[in-house]
Amino acid sequence: MPSKDDIDKVWDKAKTVRGEDSNKVRQDPYGNKIRKDQFGGGGSQGWEIDHIKPESKGGSDHLRNLQALQTKKNRELGDSTRKRTRHKCT
């Protein structure tokens, strides 16, 4: 289980949404709105910490390799290495 500090750091990397409180709502790299208080939840705005390059494929737990991702999207992608980050596909 990630620490509160790790959750906050990954949250801070997520894109802000115009007109929304950035302490409560952000957007994942696929444009899905996520709510900070729904970390670990499975609802439409639930989210998880995702490894951009999966650990199973040599990815690390370094902050550079982590992103906030809607839970449903994270399940859909699984261990795919073709994931979007805020800036590009990896």
The answer to whether residue 59 sits within a structural domain is yes
- For residues 39 and 11, give the distance between their C-alpha atoms in angstroms, rounded to a whole number: 10
Q: What is the pLDDT of residues 69-81, one digit of tens each?
A: 999 999 998 877 6
Report pLDDT digits (tens) over 42-88.
Answer: 999 999 999 999 999 999 999 999 999 999 999 998 877 666 665 44
pLDDT digits (tens, 9 = 90+) for 8-27: 999 999 999 999 999 999 99
Please report whether residue 87 resides in a domain. Answer: no
Q: How far apart are CA 64 and CA 52, in angstroms?
A: 9
Is residue 36 domain-resident? yes
Q: How many domains does the chain have?
A: 1
The residue segments making up the domain with residue 35 are 4-77
Q: What is the pTM of this model?
A: 0.86
Handedness of CA 18, 12, 88, 85 (dihedral sign): negative
